[in-house]
């Protein structure tokens, strides 16, 4: 059973930083492309960043200069370091991957950025 568990969210002021973590189990993590998505109230879930099994990264335009996605294959962990946070970054952040043709999501971690 694939399980993704996010942690590390919280409330910060604009300009602050947070690091999200995602603990993965039930999957061969080191070969999995991994992704972060987010969903703000009233909005659709949107892609934030991705990292391949080889460590190549890709970001949404708004996060390119402020977010860093990384992974620790020894510990089956995915991370999202977020800096210079803005109120519009307020959302629930989700860890995501595909395995055996199925999509898997974590329960989400709330990030709230106040002005």
Location of structure tokens 């910060």:
12
> Stretch 92-102: mean pLDDT, rounded?
95
What is the tens place of the pLDDT at every residue in 81-93? 999 999 999 999 9
* pLDDT-based confidence at residue 95 (cuts at 50, 70, 90): very high
């Amino acid at each position: 059973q694939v399980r993704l568990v996010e942690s590390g969210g919280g409330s910060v002021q604009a300009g602050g930083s947070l690091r999200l973590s995602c603990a993965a189990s039930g999957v061969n993590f080191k070969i999995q492309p991994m992704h972060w998505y987010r969903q703000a109230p009233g909005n659709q879930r949107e892609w934030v960043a991705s990292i391949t099994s080889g460590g190549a990264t890709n970001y949404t335009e708004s996060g390119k200069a402020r977010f860093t996605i990384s992974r620790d294959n020894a510990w089956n962990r995915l991370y999202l370091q977020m800096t210079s946070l803005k109120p519009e970054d307020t959302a629930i952040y989700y860890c995501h991957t595909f395995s055996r043709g199925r999509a898997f999501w974590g329960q989400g971690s709330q990030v709230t950025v106040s002005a």
